[in-house]
Amino acid sequence: MRRNLYILFLTVASFFAGGIPLFAQEVAPQAIEFNKKVHNFGKISVNDGQQHCTFEFRNTSAKPVVINNIISSCGCTEPVWPKKPIMPGESGKVEVTYLNDQGPYPFDKALTVYTSASTKPIILRITGLAYENERSVK
């Protein structure tokens, strides 16, 4: 009986001692690296019309990568991206149009980028403050 408890104790102890490194996982680098993940338009008038920005990226992996889809958190934000594979070392752009037709308010829109290189998406954001008219303090 005592021998069985000793074997059980050693088995459990070796599991925890040897199993700890299994839980410490290294974070793999992204296959696509963006020059920025947030673009702040700052203050823009609702009369300024559509606003545009570009997120540039580079394939830093050893394999071709395809951007499968980019989903916007709002219909007021329209992304355009290359549909062909991005070869290792190649660069590309995600061009974003913010329609600026939602009225005067602060905005923070997310673009979720799905690639063939990872099951974890990349999140890009556009932010700013749309205002109706500048008003003086007087």
Please count the other Cβ atoms lying within 10 Å of the Cβ belonging to residue 37.
13
Please count the other Cβ atoms lying within 10 Å of the Cβ belonging to residue 51.
17
Q: For residue 14, what pLDDT is reported?
A: 55
Sequence-distant (6+) residues with CB within 8 A of 138 are none
Which parts of the chain fold into alpha helices (H)?
2-23
Strand order in the sheet with 77-80: 32-34, 51-59, 91-98, 77-80
Percentage of residues in the chain having pLDDT higher than 90: 70
The stretch 57-85 carries a mean pLDDT of 96
135 vs 80: which has the higher pLDDT: 80
pTM of the model: 0.75
Residue type, 85: P
The mean of the pLDDT values for the chain is 86
